[in-house]
Structure 1
Amino acid sequence: MSVFTSLHPTLQELLLTGLGWDDLRPVQVETYLSVSSGADTLVLAPTAGGKTESAFFPVIDGILKNPSDHLSVIYISPLKALINDQLDRILFMCARTGLGAAVQHGDISARDRFDFSGSEHADILLTTPESLEVLLSDSRTRNAFADVRYIIIDEIHAFMESDRGVHLRCLMDRLDTLGKKQITRIGLSATVGNPEVLLDWFSGPDRNKHLVSIPSPPTKKQFTFVVEQEFSRQVHEIAKSVSGKKALVFTDSRSLAEKLVIPLRDELPSVFLHHSSVSPEDREAAELSFELDGGTCVICTSTMELGIDIGELDLVVQYGAPRSVSSFLQRLGRTGRRGKPARMTFIVTNACDLLTAVSVIEAAMNHSVESLKAPSCPYHVLIQQLFLLLKGRTGMSLGSIIKLLRALTPFKELSVNHFPAILEYLVAENYLTCSGDLYLAGTKAEMELGRSNWLSLISVIRDAGGFLAVLPDGTVIGTLDPRFVAGDPGKTFSFTGKTWRLLHRDDAHKRVLIEPAFAKGDVKRPFWSGGDGGSYASSLVCQSVAAVLERGGSGIPLPPEQKMMVDDLIRMLPDDFSPGTIHLRTEPELNGYSVVVSTFLGTRTNQVLAHLLKNRLDGKHAVRYTQFAIRIFDWESPKAGEYISGILEELGHMSVISLAEELPRLPETTWKFGELLPEDLRLEMAAYDYYEIPALLTALSGFQLHE
């Protein structure tokens, strides 16, 4: 019997008459068999590879064959926009199979929210981790989750490395304790470098699990490279590439997207903007523009990487070199459907960015993608879960707190000694108080966390402090950085492709009043303090560049002029250059010598290493770094490399924490609930999860001195 014929007749009818399918794709067959067996299942498939249906077909089949009067499925997405995008598809499947669905996230008004405490019935809930936390933390709605059988997590790779991923793991564990039987977990993901680790992370130990990874058939891909240093000419090249087409233009920061939008609107009739700081209405308008006839260009950041369905695209433009192979694959996957080749144009500034772009393509061709790593020391999320435990209780003993928190997977490996130390610190700081041997929320927690019924506990997302930009009639234009809106009123600036004047800043409500302006002179462009990532390239991208350099050229066919640019870069390297380990050499300068430490470890790691080196050089030498190397200037001796070699060897034998103590101390606000942690634990989080010192020590375990 085929899987199709084993499906419930109602589901078969949905497939035949609703979707026009008379069979399932291979990825859907394997997913069905895995989920039906009760295994936690990770589904890896490219964009438009049928992942959503792969997850929902076995789930709907299970509900139809074993009906329930209670909630059976939770679908979790990292983005509200992705839920909204998937909603019509899921509601269609529900309508054709007689199932009910509910949606709960921050954009759903209180009036329109499903009443989980009443008699209403839904089989499927579509939500975010934060909205699920609201429901699980409320005693009136918690019991609605006792019969959940499945949890589907879309774009799960977007969770694993973040604080939200730690929160999500806690939610899944807590759902299991509520239920009558183990909940089957289904994860949907793009390609990652370590899928087994991702599967283990979201499934957990001692659970039946299965990886579904059906290779997609090879498709044609067409890449075009434009090397242009002058910004106005870059804009012209973008306009020429996308004219008359449906195209996405990806930038790696909101500021760059804002920089492009006005000059591109001067050259193209239909240009939209899509990033996290523009209003939801503007983002929706950008998404809907692809449904219109004719060409449209949407300038965006990573907000358009995830699986929002925008239909068939003609072209993707990457402005600047890609920062990761994973991001490149996500962006490339937005085009090339229905048998058409995937088309991507790279607009880069120089030969180094061109080399980076072709190296990213080569890594993807070799099936090399960044590996994911969950946070090692999520003490700040532990604080959130602790106060969620205590909320509404009259006290808990130390033993009960330790038992319940260590039952949550992210905290199983944390030292037992940390728990009483954290509680003692919170008591000393008045966040907790003791009544006999019981701990309960203290006055400081009630004052800082208890406002609006403890709503701050529903999320581990740190408040970036953005100011809503609002017109006099109340229309919200978007969100601006606090530093950008600081200073006297009257500032004229561009935002969302228009020019505005700042009239008033309301610090109490984090709002700025703005009005349209028509100034042509000193018009500022907004910037944002965090979340853009700058020009940070992943270590895998850097290692791929090193591999191309070592091989002496790229296998990607390039026009003669661009091939010559890459060849010229390679010819500049010394004959004994051997990337793969840290490579150290001394080079002559006009005045003395410089020492070059070639690491190919990426910007963040090189920044850390440069700081550690500078600490040991008594301020006598200038130190500069890129994602590929560190250069130390102002040496008199050609033997300077031997001195730096000794420092690297010394660093390689130091402990993680001792190195972290030499680096800039991160502010408490780096993490939500960071101010509720003792300093030694914040230092540990910085060492392992921010500065990633263990990876640096691994790299320092071997380096070569070349003279």
Structure 2
Amino acid sequence: MSHFERLHPSLRQWVWRQGWPSLRPVQEQAIPEVLAGKDVVIAAPTAGGKTEAAFLPILSEIADDPGRGVKVLCVSPLKALINDQARRLEDMAEAVGLRCQPWHGDVTQGKAGFWKNPPEILIITPESLEAMLMRRVNKLVEALASLRFQVVDELHAFFDSPRGAQLLSLLNRVDQQIGRRVPRVALSATAGDLQAALQFLRPGGSESGAVVEVSSGGGELKIGFMTTLRELETTPISLPSLPEETPQAESVPVPGWSDLPPPEADEPPEMDPVADHLFQCLRGRSNLVFANARNRVESLAATLAERCELAHLPQEFFAHHGSLSRDHRTEVELRLREGKLPSTVVCTSTLELGIDLGDIHTVAQVGPAPSVAALKQRVGRSGRRPGAAQILRQYVELRKRKNAHLIDGLHLPLLQSIATIEGLRAGEFEPPWTANLQLSTLTQQILSVLVERGAMPAAHLHRRICAPQGPFARIDAGRFAEILRALGANAQIEQLPGGEIALGEAGERLTEDYRFYATFVTPEEYTVFSASGKRLGTIPVDDPIVPGQSLIFAGRRWRVLNVDTERLTIRLEPGRGGRPPMYASGGMNVHERLHRRMQALLLDDPFPAYLDPKGRQCLADARQHHANTDLGTPGLYRTQTDLILALWGGTRASTTLAIALSGRGVEAMPMGPFVLVPAEDAETLAAVIAELIETMPTQSELAEMCPPLAEEKFESLLSPALISLAIGSRSLDREGAMRALQRLVE
């Protein structure tokens, strides 16, 4: 019997009705693995048929199941993905007489009758599932009594994140509530170490799981490259003191080469050559332009829209990011999906995931992509039609300062952009970071389980939340007790006379707030309206905005009519000039593999064939700068003001070494592949490095050196020592730092 013949007859007919000549390889290969009841990770390019690969065998398995209630629990990271997935599954499910219910905060249809007659397929966000477990757990357990599969959409979106830990904890809690282990099927469009992805799906428990992978990334990859170099009149930048509040390398980018402000929005049009080039190359088709920060998205989208107005052309350039209103984002997504009008959308990672956007012709990346995996996901948006090429246009914006720092001459954004593309071409992707203890999410889950289950002994609570096959398995009883003491100290929990742990008064207040369900911080924001009352989005309240000011928002230029600081609202009317809102943004956490690729580019003679003339010249200049300074080789180098430790070991390794040096009394600042130390500390530095090579502090000792400044949502409920431990687990790479130190002395 062929794999196709193992599908339910009604689903085989459904496949024939789609006009498919055959199943895709990923769909064929997934059938026996899913039907075997294994944990399965299915990886294929965007629009590669992953949804059908998972659900054809799943629906075949449950089609004739007599049990009542939800048979498939599908968790997805985005509301838009849930809506899209529900649309795609509805027809397939109907073929075998099954129903599908999307569930998130914006859905109303179907919720009222859900509890009386649960559909067989529930597609839900982690936050909504959290709310169900806390508020309606008895009804949820009844609805899930016949659950057969747990499905995770866009698995890679959950890696190394508070939401990922929350997701895995929620799936474990569902297993505990229904009293059995339910098979997990995960979908991922990004290639990489899929065995690591399988371990992430069920930590320590997926040894018998399966990986189904189709490595083809679609059609031919065509790459265009544009480099701009802008000279700035500035004075050299000296090494600042290590700020106590900044333990992470990605939060302290190198002045002069990374995280520089974009071109001012009110500059003449000719001052933004990237916008000029995008306008010339992308008009008339559907395209995506990824920028690394919301303010760059806004300035670029507004400049492109202005180009249309000046040329008296219909508008086809739009902005898309998480601070814009749901209605705005939905309209933009629908315009792309329908494909009736040319549309170029400038966006952040909001359009990186697998929402159906129709036929995307070109993907542009402004600045280095955050990672090779992210670039793979983004490029996969194009070239979906059979035989169509995937098209990437990479833009690198360099800044050149007179009397700049020695590091500036390496043109690091250019190196990173090339290294990311070369990693993509070689199929080498960053593995998930698994050392993060996720103490913020653990804190949330402790309080949530106490709402779900009521008071219980501390040992029982620990066994439930820190189960061997869960995201918190590394938290032993002693560390768990330390967390409970911290929560008890601020009345989040209390110990009853019988010794059981229960919610405290402060914990009851916290868990009653709907914002508790999310693991991410929700900043205080203004809600922004047009003069006609249309909701446009949100702006942080710490952005000093005043009436009469010009502002760029939603890819258009506005004048601020009024700012209501009590109701937290801003009203806008069309205007000219202005700047984007001041959104907070973290820097990139660059993996060691990418730093080593960047380093290799300084040592190699060939030039990538796709480089533009300016890019070739800047890479040649960077190689000459390395030949003059040797900065591309691990070692210690001196300037008039600084000592430069060239590590090329990943930003976590740089941060770790800076923390270790600071702990030994040497002022140090992590700067991407480098660590900078004041020149006057030369003698001390040599001695301390020798000590660290001999006896590097343990991970716990390094974590204790991290300033205890709460960054994630629930960390403020913990003790300073636990906050430092949490920061260290996600920001420090002791092994990477030791490897980097060894390279220094080789």
Q: TM-score scaled to structure 1, two decimals?
A: 0.89
CA contact (8 A) 2:546 2:560 kept: no
Pairing 1:429-444 to 2, within 5 Å after superposition? 429-436=490-497, 437-444=499-506
The equivalent residue for 2:340 is: 293
Query: Cα distance, 1:388 vs. partner?
Result: 2.2
Separation in structure 2 between the aligned mates of residue 562 and residue 141 of structure 1, nearest angstrom = 57
Indicate how the Cα distance of structure 1 residues 200 and 536 shifts in structure 2: closer, same or farther if over 3 A, else same: closer
Which stretch of the first structure deviates more once superposed, 41-50 or 198-207?
198-207
The equivalent residue for 2:581 is: 526
Tell me the amino acid that sits aligned with residue 125 of structure 1. Answer: L
Separation in structure 2 between the aligned mates of residue 219 and residue 250 of structure 1, nearest angstrom = 21
Query: Cα distance, 1:346 vs. partner?
Result: 1.4
CA contact (8 A) 1:405 1:411 kept: yes
Asked if 1:384 corresponds to 2:447, the answer is no
Tell me the amino acid that sits aligned with residue 51 of structure 2. Answer: T
Separation in structure 2 between the aligned mates of residue 393 and residue 173 of structure 1, nearest angstrom = 14
Pairing 1:301-450 to 2, within 5 Å after superposition? 301-337=348-384, 338-350=386-398, 352-374=412-434, 376-391=436-451, 395-407=455-467, 409-436=470-497, 437-450=499-512
The equivalent residue for 2:253 is: none
Pick from 611, 626, 643: which aligns with 1:595?
A: 643
CA contact (8 A) 1:492 1:502 kept: no
Asked if 1:606 corresponds to 2:654, the answer is yes
Does the residue aligned with 1:493 lie in a helix, a strand or coil? strand
Separation in structure 2 between the aligned mates of residue 604 and residue 417 of structure 1, nearest angstrom = 27
Pick from 452, 464, 472: which aligns with 2:523?
A: 464
Pick from 604, 616, 619: which aligns with 1:566?
A: 619
Tell me the amino acid that sits aligned with residue 270 of structure 1. Answer: E
Tell me the amino acid that sits aligned with residue 304 of structure 1. Answer: L
The equivalent residue for 1:186 is: 185
CA contact (8 A) 1:584 1:645 kept: no
Indicate how the Cα distance of structure 1 residues 84 and 679 shifts in structure 2: closer, same or farther if over 3 A, else same: same
The equivalent residue for 1:155 is: 154
Which stretch of the first structure deviates more once superposed, 38-47 or 696-705?
696-705
CA contact (8 A) 2:86 2:101 kept: no
CA contact (8 A) 2:437 2:726 kept: yes
The equivalent residue for 1:242 is: 282
Q: Deviations over 1:587-644 (max 9, x none)?
A: 4x5xx4753321223455535544654676777xxx7754232344545xxxx86653
Indicate how the Cα distance of structure 1 residues 147 and 239 shifts in structure 2: closer, same or farther if over 3 A, else same: same
The equivalent residue for 2:133 is: 136
Query: Cα distance, 1:519 vs. partner?
Result: 5.1
Does the residue aligned with 1:140 lie in a helix, a strand or coil? helix
Pick from 535, 543, 551: which aligns with 2:604?
A: 551
The equivalent residue for 1:125 is: 122
Aligned residues: 678
Tell me the amino acid that sits aligned with residue 702 of structure 2. Answer: L
CA contact (8 A) 1:148 1:183 kept: yes
The equivalent residue for 1:495 is: 553
The equivalent residue for 2:536 is: 477
Indicate how the Cα distance of structure 1 residues 661 and 424 shifts in structure 2: closer, same or farther if over 3 A, else same: closer
CA contact (8 A) 2:654 2:737 kept: no
Q: Deviations over 1:440-477 (max 9, x none)?
A: 222222233334xxx34422222223332235665321
Q: Deviations over 1:319-346 (max 9, x none)?
A: 1122211111111111122211111111
The equivalent residue for 2:728 is: 687
Separation in structure 2 between the aligned mates of residue 585 and residue 553 of structure 1, nearest angstrom = 27
Query: Cα distance, 1:701 vs. partner?
Result: 4.5
Structure 1 unaligned regions, length at least 5: none
Tell me the amino acid that sits aligned with residue 442 of structure 2. Answer: L
Query: Cα distance, 1:362 vs. partner?
Result: 1.4
Asked if 1:116 corresponds to 2:114, the answer is yes
Separation in structure 2 between the aligned mates of residue 375 and residue 107 of structure 1, nearest angstrom = 35
Separation in structure 1 between the aligned mates of residue 452 and residue 118 of structure 2, nearest angstrom = 27
CA contact (8 A) 1:255 1:525 kept: yes
Highest RCO, 1 vs 2 (Cα 8 Å, sep ≥ 6): 2
Tell me the amino acid that sits aligned with residue 402 of structure 1. Answer: H
CA contact (8 A) 1:147 1:180 kept: no
Does the residue aligned with 1:141 lie in a helix, a strand or coil? helix
The root-mean-square deviation of aligned C-alpha atoms, in Å, is: 2.7
Pick from 669, 672, 677: which aligns with 1:627?
A: 672
- Identity score, percent: 27
Q: Deviations over 1:115-164 (max 9, x none)?
A: 3331x231101111111122222133332112110111111011121111
The equivalent residue for 1:87 is: 86
Structure 2 unaligned regions, length at least 5: 231-270, 309-314, 399-410
Q: Deviations over 1:53-82 (max 9, x none)?
A: 101101110112434322100111111111
Separation in structure 2 between the aligned mates of residue 473 and residue 263 of structure 1, nearest angstrom = 24
Pairing 1:16-55 to 2, within 5 Å after superposition? 16-17=16-17, 19-55=18-54
Does the residue aligned with 2:229 lie in a helix, a strand or coil? coil
Separation in structure 2 between the aligned mates of residue 307 and residue 618 of structure 1, nearest angstrom = 47
